[in-house]
Structure 1
Amino acid sequence: MNKPTLGDGATRRDYLRVLGLLGAASVGATGSVHAATTDPGTKHSGETLYAPPEGAPAPGAMYPRVERLEHAPGGNDTLLATFEYYPSMSGGAEPFFPVYRSTNGGQTWSKFSEIYDQSGKDWGMRYQPTLYELPEEVGPWPAGTVLAAGNSIPILDDPSDIPEGEIGTLGDSSIDLYASTDHGESWEYVSTVVTSGTAVPQAGNSPVWEPELQLDADGHLICYFADERQGSDDDYNQLVGLKASADGGQTWGDEQFVAAVPNGVDRPGMPVVVELPDGTYMIAYEVVGSNEVNGEIRVKTSPNGRDWGDPTDLGQQVVTADGRRLVNGPYVTWTPRGGPDGTVLVSGKQLVDENHQPAEGNGEVVLANTNLDGSGDWTAVEAPLSFRTSGELGGRIFVGWTTPILPSPNGKHLLEMTSTAMNETLTQIQYAERPLKLNKL
């Protein structure tokens, strides 16, 4: 089947709409695309979006997110990016999420705005920011409104007692929602999705983590997140849950479980969701804990973005025919190129072999699959960004945390952004945008 051709100015939603009209096309049994050969001469260490100053608290900067704006002036070459930023808390500095903007498809960036805590708690915006542009009117928000969510966490120490270059003792966790009706230039507080316990992942605490925003098939705003609140009652160590809002995030319904295993060990987390051209949704998340999962990235699909089946079913493993698999820090996206229904792309913190040792292509590839349900073997294809991973750096865990990937609207190029080692203690945010080498089946 030949795919319809759309111009370079077409949006991702245009591709989804046209491909959706084609129905579910048959694809190869393995679901893989032909692997591109990684040419050492094309490896790209990337450009620097942000480098923390010397003496900044470790890790410096990490957990980037990037979003293409399809309703901003200048067309869909406008992108926004944000990340965790670590100021010293000595003297009472308040953490915030910096927002950077690119107007040329991610080739260059400049500082654009800042998201501060406006909830009245005065905790500061500290961990795990995410961005999402509304593709249609939702509640009070017109199409093109940019939403942001992140973890607001207080410091319990007196600022005068915090040494220079330190963060301090963390308090409770709160996932808060913000909105921008001017394409990311200014922000207003909307609501708190969920608030919970101390933001330290250890027994006895009950934090919430890692929000992700998406519209479901009925136009409800969904916030997916990792949840440690259920451990004492139901023996869940950590799970992935969701809350839905019918009014654009002003109020939220009860939590539903997406991936949850009541064995006291397994920890599904770091969810990322993408809408696919057949109208289904795919979620990617890591599962750390037992030796059976060991940080591996899994994917599940939903017919509507809200119903994900049995929560104890952890879904498909993202693994190649020769046993290489991605672990930790997942990201999932879709490109219209590569197969009759396009291609699902997944990135992660590290690529390891069956023995969980760094594998060929570690820090240099993403994994691709033309089966929209994630079944079959995945294929390694060259990534835009080449970086030394935590396994190669003696366990620098904040490197590659996380690795968002964003195809160009026509699928010909791919932007990747992640945290890379700046020196022995700090990480910086780097990015690269390169041609996406997918060969059609």
Structure 2
Amino acid sequence: MQLFRALLLARCFFSAAALHIDKRTPQPFTDFTDNIFFYPASDAVQWRTLYARSLQLPDNSLLMTWENYPKEPPLVNHPIYKSIDGGATWSNFSQVKDQTNGWGMRFQPFLYTLPRDFGGFAAGTILAAGVSTPFSLEGGVYIDLYASKDQAKTWNFVSHIAYGAGPETIKNGNDALWEPFLLIHDNSLICFYSDQTDPNHGQKLVHVTTSNLLTWSAPVSDVTFPAYGDRPGMTTVAHIESSNQFIMTFEYCGKGGCRVHYKVASSPLNFDSAQAIQLTSNDTSKTTPVGSPYVVWTPHPNRSDGSGLIIVSGGNQEPVFINEDAANPAGWKKVDVGMWSAYSRSMRIITVNGKKKLFFGNGGNMGDPKYNSVACGVVPIPT
């Protein structure tokens, strides 16, 4: 997130293929890529859209949200769109609106379903975390939590997860917060995020926990680097079910640019003590993805022994990077899936007609805003 925000429109990570937009709607419940379903208004500001995130409901319908930048007022919110045909078509379903700060819901939404009863909320409750800060980026910032008990139709404020005094910029020394990611583990709900409030680090990665969704712990460090100006960012985490390990991906913005790194730990609460490893492909190109990574794990589609695959996406690469459960640094295979790259392109394993598929959510790029629409894709799980 850090390098891209700093470079703004100077960096253009959209694929050349994006210049030739195919506007045909895919057939329902099929495989497809580069399906643009939301075009921002012509007078939208900043990057128009960024940072798409998805969810699949029990009836196999899909939800998508993203950073949206219409002119204000009214206050900006995180739109929720819904697809009932496997991502082929979408409709405007609801919005996560700021109900407490008077600032709007501005940056980095994240959707999560409670897998079990937790903190007085029933299993199946949908949570939405996101960054609320004023349009001016001055005056403070909250990472806020909202909940829906009716499958995303309506939303209610639950709690402030974290607070920074602002301004909400990437300038070192500004008390900013970014990029929440939710995960339930044992008796806690964890929120990972990027934190600029520590005077010893321009930015570091941290987590906080809650047992009731209402009160949150003090932040615990997950990734720090000795140099004050080094900026790890954009945590995502996946559970490697076969080994009961956890993998965290993040970008490390230092002298070498924002190269994608990862850590593996036996608990998602203990990443701080795990080694940070740069992700590099094992082919002759020795490719390291740059910026805004995302990670998922899935059972291996061609095996029945319980093993699986780790899949990582980076911001500047259309291919994904896959590895076996051990996450061997020499095991990263680069696989082209035919889906445009995007700023923080998200992934999710979904079910389509009884089969597991890899779903992509694209919310635009830090490039020419003309191409910053929201797109999705559904492909077979790469191997």
1:149-164 equivalent positions in 2, closer than 5 A: 149-156=129-136
Cα deviation, residue 170, structure 1: 4.4
Equivalent position of 1:85 in the other structure = 68
Alignment partner of 1:295 out of 254, 258, 271: 258
One-letter amino acid of the counterpart of residue 265, structure 1: G
> Structure 1 residue 210 and structure 2 residue 174: aligned?
no
> Structure 1 residue 256 and structure 2 residue 220: aligned?
yes
1:115-126 equivalent positions in 2, closer than 5 A: 115-119=96-100, 121-126=101-106
Contact 1:330 1:348 (C-alpha < 8 Å) held by counterparts? yes
Q: Matched residues in 2 for 1:316 and 1:186: separation?
A: 41
Contact 1:300 1:374 (C-alpha < 8 Å) held by counterparts? no
Contact 2:300 2:308 (C-alpha < 8 Å) held by counterparts? yes
Contact 2:202 2:229 (C-alpha < 8 Å) held by counterparts? yes
Larger mean CA deviation between 176-185 and 329-338 belongs to 329-338
Q: Matched residues in 1 for 2:278 and 2:259: separation?
A: 10
Instruction: Report the CA distance shift for 1:286/1:386 in structure 2 as closer, same or farther (over 3 A).
Output: same
Contact 1:296 1:327 (C-alpha < 8 Å) held by counterparts? yes
Equivalent position of 1:199 in the other structure = 168
1:69-148 equivalent positions in 2, closer than 5 A: 69=57, 72=58, 74=59, 77-89=60-72, 92-119=73-100, 121-148=101-128
Equivalent position of 1:405 in the other structure = 347
Alignment partner of 1:65 out of 24, 49, 53: 53
> How big is each residue's C-alpha offset from its partner over 1:302-345, in whole Å with a ceiling of 9 and x where there is no partner?
2222111427x423524334311111111101121256511000
Cα deviation, residue 97, structure 1: 0.2
Contact 1:51 1:422 (C-alpha < 8 Å) held by counterparts? no
Contact 1:135 1:143 (C-alpha < 8 Å) held by counterparts? yes
Cα deviation, residue 173, structure 1: 1.6
Cα deviation, residue 59, structure 1: 0.7
Equivalent position of 1:271 in the other structure = 235
> How big is each residue's C-alpha offset from its partner over 1:137-170, in whole Å with a ceiling of 9 and x where there is no partner?
11111110111100000134xxxxxxxxxxxx54
Q: Matched residues in 2 for 1:321 and 1:219: separation?
A: 41
Cα deviation, residue 411, structure 1: 6.3
Instruction: Report the CA distance shift for 1:104/1:334 in structure 2 as closer, same or farther (over 3 A).
Output: farther
Contact 1:384 1:414 (C-alpha < 8 Å) held by counterparts? no
Equivalent position of 1:224 in the other structure = 192
Q: Which has the larger radius of gyration?
A: 1
> How big is each residue's C-alpha offset from its partner over 1:90-138, in whole Å with a ceiling of 9 and x where there is no partner?
xx3201000011223323321110000112x211100000000011111
Q: Matched residues in 2 for 1:172 and 1:117: separation?
A: 14
TM-score under structure 1 length normalisation = 0.73
Contact 2:67 2:363 (C-alpha < 8 Å) held by counterparts? no
Equivalent position of 1:178 in the other structure = 146
Q: Matched residues in 1 for 2:147 and 2:338: separation?
A: 30
Cα deviation, residue 413, structure 1: 2.3
One-letter amino acid of the counterpart of residue 314, structure 1: A
Secondary structure at 2:192's aligned position in 1? Answer: strand
Larger mean CA deviation between 318-327 and 193-202 belongs to 318-327
Contact 1:67 1:79 (C-alpha < 8 Å) held by counterparts? yes
Equivalent position of 2:4 in the other structure = none
> Structure 1 residue 53 and structure 2 residue 41: aligned?
yes
Equivalent position of 2:26 in the other structure = none
Q: How many residues are matched?
A: 344
Secondary structure at 1:325's aligned position in 2? Answer: coil
Q: Matched residues in 1 for 2:255 and 2:278: separation?
A: 17
One-letter amino acid of the counterpart of residue 349, structure 1: G
Secondary structure at 2:46's aligned position in 1? Answer: coil
Equivalent position of 1:395 in the other structure = none
> How big is each residue's C-alpha offset from its partner over 1:59-109, in whole Å with a ceiling of 9 and x where there is no partner?
10110001222xx3x2xx1221100000112xx320100001122332332
Equivalent position of 1:284 in the other structure = 249
Secondary structure at 1:350's aligned position in 2? Answer: coil
Q: Which has the higher strand share?
A: 2
Equivalent position of 2:311 in the other structure = 345
Contact 2:172 2:203 (C-alpha < 8 Å) held by counterparts? no
Q: Matched residues in 2 for 1:245 and 1:127: separation?
A: 22
Structure 1 vs Structure 2 CA RMSD: 2.2
Q: Matched residues in 2 for 1:285 and 1:423: separation?
A: 21
> How big is each residue's C-alpha offset from its partner over 1:147-201, in whole Å with a ceiling of 9 and x where there is no partner?
1100000134xxxxxxxxxxxx544221000111111111110100111021011
Cα deviation, residue 281, structure 1: 1.7
Structure 1: state its 5+ residue gaps: 1-42, 157-168, 352-362, 388-399
Instruction: Report the CA distance shift for 1:324/1:178 in structure 2 as closer, same or farther (over 3 A).
Output: same
Structure 2: state its 5+ residue gaps: 1-30
Q: Percent identity?
A: 29
Equivalent position of 2:334 in the other structure = 380
